[in-house]
Structure 1
């Protein structure tokens, strides 16, 4: 069983059009605080990012923000965090979030959220880490994406083993249970440097 002490959360810096999603983001932060799981996230006070952080902080949890220098303005950065790490660029930000986290959770978002999710999935596929990765599929937000991933697998562009790296649940309780029970696949043989 994986002991989850910190989670990186990927989500929108926009609130979106459905207030319910913001409430779920806040409650995710609240539940993380109640379970003593530190939030690692992008450091913004805006949108769903701000709601998750608020949920943690208002329930006496701990938050580390990781933000690239070019986004570190008074309008964007959350100034009430336990720790704020500034990076040179977006790539360094993702590396730092990976280093600090025991797992990864994606909430609704746009290009940035998807880019973070797919990069961390690709790293797992390549055997670069063995941490659990999950989607909190609020009101079926990710249904179309999941259908696309299944299409990729059925058409032979994505191995079923790699598709199964991605954990999916409609509630955080269910997702956390999956993440705690997650067992990473063996490193692909072609990636094993000890093979001749």
Structure 2
């Protein structure tokens, strides 16, 4: 049986996806994941043409905005990176898409803090999957100070106190292998998404 679910198709920086309100979805788990996957539409072609997503990671994103679970935040931001195969990673974060979640939180009247003498408003989000605090600044005027072609001007900042820049505590890792070759790498935590370089 089909069920209508309220959602917003939004662009957030260089990303596009669907933002849901937690109250409109089943609780966290398989049923909620199924709704999100159905909305974005990963399919056997890899193009995600069964939904509003696309065949690349920047268009297979979802956010669930919920009332804050921690004091001092406007909302919880549950980021979901949907794979082309239909799986969901709830442990990462996306600063670009946080701007879309902040707009939905602001539209819902969640707590905002005025900034720049009333020229902007700040929405503090708790990025639950990555365990990070974020502040998204939304302009309140028609004169944006920053712009990406085709995207609304917003500023997203990660607040200190989240993850360590070097999650292993070392600037270089040795003893790794790539096939049969030895490998040295620096592992850096970029917005809750560890990367090796």
Q: Whose Rg is larger? A: 2
The answer to which structure has the higher helix fraction is 1
Q: TM-score normalized by structure 2?
A: 0.29
Q: TM-score normalized by structure 1?
A: 0.29
Higher RCO (C-alpha under 8 Å, 6+ residues apart): 1
